Structure 1
């Protein structure tokens, strides 16, 4: 076999190797664990959902105070704003400032669920 034929065969084999292992039956998709989507039953009617959607389209503010603007920007987060009033720095935004700090303490049930889901 000549050198050219050997190089051609090696190039052909190396080009076909990724295709041979592309769908090996693994649950990994693109390097990440795949997921399955299932239909979920709802107690809302189509008319109610449509009405909520139209209300959201009229005022696209999310629960955390951000705004969906579409286009390339997509989403604008709500920002804290401050101003000096009466010689003091006060909040002038509409974001709630009295929310409790998150707790890092897990209950036994939460710990068991975490271990069951991520460790085992």
Structure 2
């Protein structure tokens, strides 16, 4: 009789374990309240279809991104821009065309960012 009670108790515990670890999180597309974290761009463009097609054709003729990376047609997808250096007059100088005066990214959040994050991730 005690073996039967043990088996029934283990079955009840096994049934309750998944429910104990369940979460109300809806996945990568939303937070606990089900609000979507992906925002659609609802702005309208001022470009005509002809202008967009012209830009597409120009990109197809010279597939270079804004940072100097080249898009190639194979499984690798793109070749990132590389810095190149050379000694000129006894000093090491940059010989590439990549901008070296870009601003470093800031990890400081503004008050508006903090407020938005608190609203999105409130438990």
TM-score interval (norm. to shorter): 0.5 to 0.7
Match of 2:110 in 1: 107
TM-score by length of 1: 0.63
Taking the TM superposition and a 5 Å limit, the aligned residue runs for 1:62-101 are: 62-101=65-104
- Count of residues in correspondence between the two structures: 91
Would you tell me which structure has more strand in proportion to its own residues?
A: 1
Q: Following TM superposition, where does structure 1 have runs of at least 4 consecutive aligned residues deviating by more than 6 angstroms? A: 34-39
Q: CA 1:103/1:82 → structure 2, altered by over 3 Å: closer, same or farther?
A: same
What is the CA distance between 1:73 and its match in structure 2? Answer: 2.1
Shift of 1:75: 0.6
Structure 1 vs Structure 2 CA RMSD: 2.6
Structure showing greater relative contact order (alpha-carbon pairs closer than 8 Å, 6 or more residues apart): 2
Relative to the length of structure 2, the TM-score reads 0.62
Unaligned regions of 5+ residues in structure 1, if any? 1-26
Match of 2:4 in 1: none
For structure 2, the 5+ residue unaligned runs are: 1-25, 31-35
